[in-house]
Amino acid sequence: MATAALAALATGRAAAQSRIGVTPENARVNAYLQDLANPGGLVGLAGGAVVERLRHGDSELGDELAFRGTQRLVGVSVRHGLAAAMHLSTDNGYHLCECKGFGPRVAHALSETFTDPSDGGGRALAVPRIAASYAEGFTGLAWRHDRGVGDVLAGTALTFGAKALFNIGRELTRIQLHLHP
């Protein structure tokens, strides 16, 4: 009798799970889970761990995977959590501008680097992305005791500077690459 009750319960859960779809109420949760399990991000995580292991033979691959996995979890969670609280989009894809001329294209590239689209259609400072980058860096301090706060601050600033230069190059050459975070 208990087995039949468990089977009925499991069947009910499976039926309920099959009816779950992406609705406006759970779209953010769906985007979070997709971003967290993004194949490109996971390949980058594993590839970075293997490269770090090859570069520094003294580190364990499992420790490196845990380090990078924790950083990714923290970064994605901070970015999505703040974006939801601030009513900002979590779409971090680059959108080419339709503008003409050097100045407007550079301005657009910088705007795309440091702002996010808001739910209302405007743009706002990319606080979720910026905070997520810093959170990832500070999470890394738990594993890498030879690094300090200054290293995190400098590394994050360099990351955003490189992204700005890449976006300017993308705008000026009109090449759009579809890269995942």
80-124 tens-digit pLDDT: 999 888 888 787 778 888 888 888 889 999 998 998 887 777 888
Q: Provide the whole-model pTM.
A: 0.74
23-75 tens-digit pLDDT: 666 788 888 888 888 888 889 888 988 888 888 777 788 888 888 999 999 99
Across-strand partners of 4?
A: none
Would you say 118 and 87 are in contact if contact means Cβ atoms under 8 Å apart?
yes
143-179 tens-digit pLDDT: 888 889 999 999 999 999 999 999 999 888 875 454 4
What is the structure's pLDDT at 64? 87
What is the structure's pLDDT at 22? 58
**pLDDT at residue 5 is higher than 60:** no
What are 63-72's contacts with CB under 8 Å, separation 24+? 63/143, 67/140, 67/143, 67/144, 69/45, 70/139, 70/142, 71/136, 71/139, 71/140, 72/36, 72/41, 72/45, 72/136
DSSP for residue 82: H
What is the structure's pLDDT at 181? 42
Measure the CA–CA gap between 164 and 108, rounded to whole angstroms. Answer: 10
Q: How many CB atoms neighbour CB 35 within 10 A?
A: 19
What is the structure's pLDDT at 164? 93
